[in-house]
Structure 1
Amino acid sequence: MFAHAGGLLATELTDVTSDLTALDSSGHWAVVITYEGEVTCARFGTVRRAPLPYAPWQGPPRESWTSSLGRDAYVAGVETIRAAIAEGTVYQANLCRVLSAPLPGSDLLGLGHALARGNPSPYGAVMRLPGLQIASASPELYLSRAGDVVESRPIKGTARTPEELLPKDRAENVMIVDLVRNDLGRVAEPGSVSVPALCALEEHPGLVHLVSTVRSRLPAGTGWPELIAATFPPGSVTGAPKSSALTLLNELEPVPRGPYCGAIGWVDADSRRGALAVGIRTFWATGDLLRFGTGAGITWHSDPRHEWQETELKAARLLEVASR
């Protein structure tokens, strides 16, 4: 068992729990929370700054991947969301699909190394935990914490080049920033929620994103359990209003998202620091299947076929790396 995230390699597993209060106790923890809310917190006895160890990877053939939603079903789902927007049920919703392929081996360390080389990301992580393996190239920060200061950096707006970003992308980003401000405001010190950056352009391998930063301060006595309860699942992968979007997406998506769109990262309880990424650009393995998720944010101005193509764009480079 091991976890590599934030440039830190953690080994010698000492404890596993689903109790989030452990993150405010002591020690270094690897954290995975599925979109459905299943929590795995794994404490490790040895932690050091180190690169991810090398391992070879032979991925599944590109043609072996299947999708939980085909093109026609996804387009129909986008139309359903647009109808819900017209009725005032939601303003935005993030429709996702899960791809799966036979797992060629038993270890995702090699895939994690291939992702780090072929698709480097600021919040990448590779973990082998009891019953679960993760190889993530997430570019998105769900929550970071340094003492009482908390930050979230939602991504909304994706294209191949800056010129291809649409007015809809900025509008979507601003909607989600408002949602994240509201979520953090539930547990923040009154008046401490701010937006230091709105719709900043970030370049990543093969695409660009619009990224905003929302910051707040926690009052005394408020820790990780309260923070996650107020903000989970991440707003950028659900929709607005969040409760209505969650209900609608549950009706449209035929399989659980699992770690995709959940939270993946590390927490150092001793220093009260940590960083949890949104579980996008993420592969996970349970049993003999390798899985990967992709999705797009839907607004009234969404073109259903364009949104399908956005899910293809987000998946293309990652599947190319995984299927080598």
Structure 2
Amino acid sequence: MYDGFAHLGHVSATGLRDVTSDLAALDSEGWWAVVVDYEGKVTCARFDRVRRAPLPTPAAPWRGPRPDQWRSSLDRAGYERGVQAIRAYIEQGEVYQANLCRVLSAPVPPDADPLALAARLAEAHPASYAAVIQVPGLSVVSASPELYLSRDGDVIESGPIKGTAETVDGLLEKDYAENVMIVDLVRNDLGRVAAVGSVEVPSLCAAEEYPGLVHLVSTVRARLAPGAGWPELFAATFPPGSVTGAPKSSALRIINELEPVPRGPYCGAVGWVDADRGRAALAVGIRTFWISPSADGRDELRFGTGAGITWGSDPGREWFETELKAARLIALASTGGI
């Protein structure tokens, strides 16, 4: 429908100038929409016309798949086996925590309009880092609540989410311990590119309510060291700690072993960078849909969901957490849903 379009942070961008996979471009000039796949594929799209505006009205309502058309890369039995495998790795001392995810997919018509889906989510499931980005070869719609990296001059900030329940009373000790563990990881990641002594944690384990669930959210802040730019920031912090695990290197290896399909934009980064003003907001690509072709060439809508696994994890409860995170958004993206 568009040569290029993006709407992020109450800003609409049109007039696609160029697209690059070079993160260093984000330190140059212009306003960029950014998607970085969990596997590291980079899409930076620079737009010439950027203005503060509401989300445009789509030409037609969203037409999504039927609820019974969704398929999961891991069924319940497979997911619970994965949880047990991670617990075994924890027992062996190889990892303290690892995020186990699955990808849901369903067919959509070739003319499926991401803007129409974004409009539906904006109305029924507003999110702090809502985004729709459509450039040649890439269509992403996100309702992410989680900050991966923001930037204001040399001040950088991350807002890791760990710990999920239906209500505050449903949060367990495991949820708080998991959040603190990931905060330590994010502090260490930012410390690799931060000015010495500048890393701080202004907020730890704050309970925040979202549609249908509650999360624990922390804030980690630092000042970027002189000479460090976007390539260095990503090299130090990507993929985000909240969707990998600790130690990150071990968690990444275990995730690669247990998850049967790539995560794509899910668990990557989705957001914007204003290189002229030195400002940015990149979300963790959770609560995120993307459209891509299947093996037979048909367009499919994909959505990821997952949970952080620790020694105290119950396989059935972790499966339920992935269902809880996905249920409302899958219903909104489906014909005949909410």
1:305 paired with 2:316, answer yes
1:289 paired with 2:300, answer yes
Q: Among 26, 34, 37, which residue is 1:34 paired with?
A: 37
Query: What is the Cα deviation at residue 213 of structure 1?
Result: 0.1
1:60 paired with 2:71, answer no
1:123 paired with 2:100, answer no
- What CA distance in whole angstroms lies between the structure 2 residues aligned with 1:60 and 1:108? 13
Partner of 2:296: none
Query: What is the Cα deviation at residue 31 of structure 1?
Result: 0.2
Alignment of 1:63-78 (within 5 A): 63-78=68-83
- What CA distance in whole angstroms lies between the structure 2 residues aligned with 1:92 and 1:36? 20
Partner of 1:316: 327
Query: What is the Cα deviation at residue 222 of structure 1?
Result: 1.1
Q: Deviations over 1:271-323 (max 9, x none)?
A: 01000000000000013110000000000000000000000000001011101
- What CA distance in whole angstroms lies between the structure 2 residues aligned with 1:28 and 1:135? 19
Alignment of 1:63-212 (within 5 A): 63-104=68-109, 105-212=111-218
Query: What is the Cα deviation at residue 130 of structure 1?
Result: 1.5
Partner of 1:43: 46
Query: What is the Cα deviation at residue 143 of structure 1?
Result: 0.2
Q: Give the letter for the 1:116 counterpart.
A: A
TM-score by length of 2: 0.95
Q: Give the letter for the 1:102 counterpart.
A: P
3-state SS, counterpart of residue 255 of structure 1: coil
Q: Give the letter for the 2:134 counterpart.
A: R
- What CA distance in whole angstroms lies between the structure 2 residues aligned with 1:297 and 1:102? 28
- What CA distance in whole angstroms lies between the structure 2 residues aligned with 1:129 and 1:89? 40
Q: Deviations over 1:154-213 (max 9, x none)?
A: 000011100001110000000000000000000000100000000001111111000000
3-state SS, counterpart of residue 124 of structure 1: strand
- What CA distance in whole angstroms lies between the structure 2 residues aligned with 1:164 and 1:292? 25
1:233 paired with 2:239, answer yes
Q: Among 224, 232, 253, which residue is 1:247 paired with?
A: 253
Query: What is the Cα deviation at residue 106 of structure 1?
Result: 2.7
Query: What is the Cα deviation at residue 221 of structure 1?
Result: 1.4
Q: Deviations over 1:26-75 (max 9, x none)?
A: 00000000000000000000000011112211211011000000000000
- What CA distance in whole angstroms lies between the structure 2 residues aligned with 1:69 and 1:187? 36
Q: Give the letter for the 2:282 counterpart.
A: L
3-state SS, counterpart of residue 323 of structure 2: helix
Aligned pairs, how many? 324
Query: What is the Cα deviation at residue 219 of structure 1?
Result: 1.8
**Does the aligned pair in 1 maintain the 2:118–2:141 contact within 8 Å?**
yes
- What CA distance in whole angstroms lies between the structure 1 residues aligned with 2:324 and 2:5? 31
- What CA distance in whole angstroms lies between the structure 2 residues aligned with 1:166 and 1:290? 33
Query: What is the Cα deviation at residue 78 of structure 1?
Result: 0.1
3-state SS, counterpart of residue 198 of structure 1: strand
1:278 paired with 2:298, answer no
Query: What is the Cα deviation at residue 103 of structure 1?
Result: 1.2
- What CA distance in whole angstroms lies between the structure 2 residues aligned with 1:203 and 1:50? 27
Q: Give the letter for the 1:61 counterpart.
A: R
Q: Give the letter for the 1:289 counterpart.
A: E
TM-score by length of 1: 0.99
Moved more, 307-316 or 56-65: 56-65
- What CA distance in whole angstroms lies between the structure 1 residues aligned with 2:136 and 2:197? 41
1:15 paired with 2:21, answer no
Moved more, 54-63 or 190-199: 54-63
Query: What is the Cα deviation at residue 220 of structure 1?
Result: 1.8
- Structure 2 unmatched runs, 5+: 294-298
